[in-house]
Amino acid sequence: METNETLTGISEAGLFLADYAAWLWGCGATCVRISKNVNRIASSFGYEAEIIVMSGNIAVALYAHHGERGEVFICRNKACGINFDLNARLSALSWNITDNRLDISVARNLFTRIISRHYHSGMRIMLFTSLANASFCRLFGGDHAAMTTVFFATMAGYYMKQRLLRLKADSRVVFFVCAFVSSVLCAGANLFNWGSTPQVAIATSVLYLIPGVPYLNAASDLIARQYLCSFSRFTDAVDLTDSLSAGLCLGLVVMRINMLW
């Protein structure tokens, strides 16, 4: 029989690991990374873990010793948006816990500190995203006027994205609204004849919204034989692509832009 103290320890560790795994999923980690990180932390705490990753929830089964009765902890996946910085910090936390043999209370405090600031670098990311999208415009033949238009349209759209995500808006609505805002702003290059390639500005105005990471994660999970997760991520990516396409089309209709030159 397990003592109450052991069960309490398992419960505390299991709740932490389920929450940790749910945040990893939300910020864009693959199933392989989630499994490795959770097992690394569980081993450091002196437990064995089995993980079931689903599209909406993550279940962590924790055992004090192999073959003994354990507990299962389920946490709803966090919808925090793709965030490489958060992903890297959470992965580094798993190594920090293992290397320094941190107890659960210290690990929980560090974890809370990391997830509480996952939107704080928004201005820097917004600037680099805008520069990257303007560079894509140049890559596809846009002139300086088109690049400038795309830069500010991307900045406005990304700002909207950050604000809406903070308000817990549905990601499909976020992509639709952001694509609409960016496409309408870039349509000004065509309406006011700014530069010689306004059509390139419109076409590249929503490239920053392309859900490349979900598509890549779907392929990674497929290779790892996580078929349900792979299909779920692929479906989510298609949904987001449809949403941004609808926002772009609505922007063109509202601004009465004919893209069939």
Residues 243, 172: contact at Cβ < 8 Å?
Answer: yes
Average pLDDT along the chain, 261 residues, taken 10 residues at a time: 50 92 90 93 91 87 75 86 85 94 92 78 83 93 92 94 85 94 88 83 92 91 90 92 94 80 49
> What DSSP character marks residue 46?
T
Q: What is the pLDDT of residues 63-74, one digit of tens each?
A: 886 656 778 899
Q: What is the pLDDT of residues 111-121, one digit of tens each?
A: 999 988 755 55
6 closest CA partner among 58, 94, 61, 65? 65
Q: How far apart are CA 94 and CA 83, in angstroms?
A: 17
**Sheet containing 71-76, strands listed edge to edge, beginning at the edge strand earlier in sequence:** 48-53, 57-63, 71-76
Given this model, what pLDDT does residue 121 score? 56
